[in-house]
Chain A
Amino acid sequence: MSEEKVAIYIPKSLYEKIKKQVEESGGEFKSVEDYIIFVLEELVKEEEEEEVYSPEEEEEIKKRLRALGYL
């Protein structure tokens, strides 16, 4: 991301905890910063009805749910 950034201070103990999770994430996150941005974005967008499924995926799942009798 080339967006302008700002610095924020967090407790060192929290930083250490996150660092540990980043190390255990199997390469999912590159850095603590990466992790924090992901979590905060998740939190901020949670109230939106975000499109998780692509239109094709959504159709596929609806087809299955229809076959299951749910739709």
Chain B
Amino acid sequence: MKVFVLGIDSAEPELVFGKWYSELPTIKSLAEDGAWGKIASTVPPITCPSWVSGLTGLNPGHLGLYDLRYRKRGSYTEFGIVSSRMVSKPRVWDVLSGRGKKCGVVFVPVTYPPVPLNGFMVSSFLTPTTKSPFTYPRSLKEELFRIIGGEDRYIIDVYDYRRKDPRQLMEELRAKTEHDFKIIRYLLKKPWDFFMAVVMSIDRAQHTLWKFFDREHPRFVEDPELKDGLLELHKQIDEELAKTLELLPRDTAVIVVSDHGAKRMYFRINVNEILAEEGFLKLREKPRRVTSLREADEKGLIDWDKTQAFALGAYIAQVFINVEGREPRGCVKPGEEYERVREEVADGLRKVRGPSGEALNNVVYMKEDVYEGEKLDVMPDITVYFDNLHYGVNESLGHDSIYSLETAKGPDDSNHGEYGILVVYDPEGRVKGRLSGYRMEDLARLIMMLQGD
């Protein structure tokens, strides 16, 4: 059976299946004729590793991926950007290609550079520029440029959105969604057995447009024009999906899925400030202005020989213990000392309170509780969801406080949520009703099952 998957990055179940359900007739009818429910994202609930986990069917510990970036070997703060070459396990299309099935893979995150498959591939937002070889086969790029009216009209992503007027951002995101579906529908006319596309506009929108509809948001803004901005973008995708479904053969199974959700964000916690205050992170000198962890490291402000723990992350805190033998200048002995230090750090972060002293619902995961696999060594030792993701994180140093409202990163209304959406329409009715207990890693098996494996 043919399988069509639409990924809506960051679509939140509380909005899609709750508040806005009746306004999204296409998704609603797929769900009512098929099955629907929440799908648990990976730890952390970030585009990478979530999509990669979903499409390999593997826990991030097998992949060694914990963010869109990674720490380069032998360094603390030198970061590389994840690419398709780092995905060392087969994804659904690799397996299906091997079985002679035709695959279309369009805008799926972590597919740059594109890899040969039995079919075609268009890379996602980590494509450097339109000059880069972002399609397989290479010649497909020219076809796409033709479809959308020239190379200069090809949109890789919507950039710099924090500095833009929200109205302009809305326009750009609408244009991006239109552009993406134009390409999707064009490519659907080529032969395929498995087709998957991911649209990013909801993810991009939520960070800036959340405060206009959510009256409980601490920075709620009354604006009649933008009140329905985020809803409008959802409706646009729903309408585009309806037009797209018309092109599918009758016996096609359809999945609509998101890699994580979203929720309102109150503040960001300056997690390395906490680690420095508690003596786990040793600074030779405290930066006088806000300084990225990378810059502080380059300037030699961090005394790694005496540092026991440091954190990375923008939305989720990912703490690494400075373990001897594993880290370049590790000083915490593996075994008992590691366990003790890690417990102390975790305990300190678990107790972090809000700016008025209120208790927060902090969720702390130890590495072995959430990860398994041969690449456990590179995964963070502790992951913290402050106030279960209602608080984000800054890794920079030189803040006056452990809380940041607006940061060097610009305003941000929402954090990622730990659940995504899952809608499955199976013409044979094998999957029906309310879904529960699905995890991102189950996506690959679900696709293979529907496909007829």
Contact = CB atoms under 8 A, between A and B. Distances in A.
Given A27-B137, A50-B83, 11 more contacts: A25-B116, A29-B116, A52-B83, A54-B128, A65-B81, A67-B161, A68-B204, A69-B412, A70-B46, A70-B67, A71-B79
Interface string B70-111: 101100000111011110100000000000100000000000
Contact of B137 (A17, A25, A49): A25
B243 interface: no
B224 interface: no
Contacts of B115: 42
Interface string A2-39: 00000000000000010001000111110000010011
Contacts of B85: 42, 45-46, 50, 52
A58 B116 contact: no
Contacts of A28: 116, 136-139
Interface of chain B, main secondary structure = loop
Interface of A: 17, 21, 25-29, 35, 38-39, 42, 45-47, 49-54, 57-58, 60-62, 64-71
Contacts of A61: 81, 126, 128
A26 B139 contact: yes
A25 B207 CA distance: 40
Interface string B33-75: 0000000000000100000000000000000000111101100
Contacts of B72: 49
A46 B207 contact: no
B157 interface: yes
Of the candidates B139, B163, B204, the one having the most CB atoms from chain A within 10 angstroms of its own CB is: B139
B137 A58 contact: no
A65 B314 CA distance: 11
Nearest to A42: B115
Interface of B: 46, 67-70, 72-73, 79-81, 83-86, 88, 100, 112-113, 115-116, 118, 125-126, 128-129, 132, 136-140, 157, 159-163, 204, 207, 314-315, 409-410, 412
A65 B84 CA distance: 17
A17 B113 CA distance: 24
5 contacts: A29-B116, A42-B85, A46-B85, A49-B70, A69-B412
B88 A38 contact: no
A36 to B, nearest CB: 11
A64 B83 contact: no
A17 B100 CA distance: 9
A18 B224 CA distance: 58
Contacts of B80: 49, 51, 53, 58
Contacts of B136: 28
A55 to B, nearest CB: 11
Nearest to A64: B159
Given A49-B73, A50-B85, A69 B207 contact: yes
A3 B69 CA distance: 36
